[in-house]
Structure 1
Amino acid sequence: MAKEKEIKTNAMRILDRQKIKYEVLQYECDEFIDGLHTAEKTGAPVEQSFKTLVAQGKSKQYYVLVLPIAEEVDLKKAAKAVGEKSIEMIHVKDITAVSGYVRGGCSPIGMKKQYPTVIQECAAQFDKVYVSGGRIGTTLCMAPEDLKKVSRAEYADFIQ
């Protein structure tokens, strides 16, 4: 009997290419659930689980914000962190067009384009962080420094 081949997401292929160690956690899920439910399903610690949001600045530039699942973005702080006068979250209907990912499966790794990315600075204190793997039902676990490197991100404080 043939071994079932794991279907890699774009995020996983990029991590493999850059020889970055990561763990894959799969969970059963048919539609979008929030990060808290995802952490519950995978057993990932809530404080180490991060969501990926996409915002757009006044300049029309897109930005990727990676923050703890239980926190909210402070748009003023986020704008300052990316060097914009102001930013706002993109509309849910635009997520796939902008990122290449679906809502609930948006990974900071391997979007359609390399957008400026900011990771909430508290991530640096953990040995591992959990982010979406690029599709609903897939979470990736890796060192925060590896996430920062592969997503070409900076650390900043932008939560409420």
Structure 2
Amino acid sequence: MARRSDASAGTPATLALARAGVAFTALGYEHDPRVAAYGLEAADKLGLDPDRVFKTLLVTVDGSLAVGIVPVAMQLDLKALAGALGGKRAEMADPAVAERKTGYVVGGISPIGQKTALPTVLDESAIICESIYVSGGRRGLDLELAPDDLIAVTGGRYAPIARAR
């Protein structure tokens, strides 16, 4: 069951967007705790095209944390992300480190409003979308916004970092 709301969703992500004057729509849904594929669950429950719903993944690139954002139906290409950030090697970050550095829980990590600003790369497939959806900072909350606004508010960049499963 989906529900629409506004900036009153009150997460660091929605507050950061409101402060920056970025237009967005907050979409909530009832998260099923038995589901592990959070992004696919969001696409399904909100009735959205999975190509427009993006997941936020924390990685270490040559020992430093970074953020990769890819469509939920795709996988993050670690080598491509490392290259996009001028690194040689990337691996998924430890979930406890991801939670501590972002201030969000796994499955609800938003690329926006993180406690620590990290280098951020959005898959280039987002360029063709008028708007995309990313986590709003908690499980059961997604935010719709323009991809260029996401790049602007995170200080990120586009690069081809997704690959088919």
Q: TM-score, normalised by structure 1?
A: 0.92
Does residue 146 of the first structure (1) align with residue 146 of the second (2)?
no
Q: Which has the larger radius of gyration?
A: 1
Query: Aligned partners of 1:75, 1:19: CA distance in 2, in Å?
Result: 32
Partner of 1:40: 44
Equivalenced residue count is 155
Shift in CA distance, 103/137, structure 1 to aligned 2, threshold 3 Å? same
SS of corresponding position for 1:136: coil
**Where do 5+ consecutive residues of structure 1 fail to align?**
none
Q: CA deviation at 1:109?
A: 0.3
Code of the aligned partner of 1:50: F
User: Please, which runs of 5 or more residues in structure 2 have no aligned partner?
Assistant: 1-6
Rounded to whole Å, the distance in 2 between the matches of 1:77 and 1:6 is 37
In structure 1, the residue matched to 2:3 is none
Could you list the structure 1 runs, at least 4 aligned residues long, displaced by more than 6 angstroms after superposition.
none
Contact persistence 2:9–2:26 (CA under 8 A): no
Name the residue aligned to 1:87.
90
Which residue number corresponds to residue 4 of structure 2? none
Task: Spell out the pairing of 1:38-77 with structure 2 (5 A cutoff).
Answer: 38-58=42-62, 60-77=63-80
Higher strand share: 2
Shift of 1:76: 1.2
Q: CA deviation at 1:30?
A: 5.0
Matches within 5 A, 1:8-27: 8-27=10-29
Question: Once the two structures are superposed, what CA deviation does each residue of 1:13-49 show, in whole Å capped at 9, x if it has no partner?
Answer: 0110111110010001153642111111112221100
| Aligned equivalents of 2:157, 2:8: Cα separation in 1 | 31
**TM-score relative to the length of structure 2:** 0.89
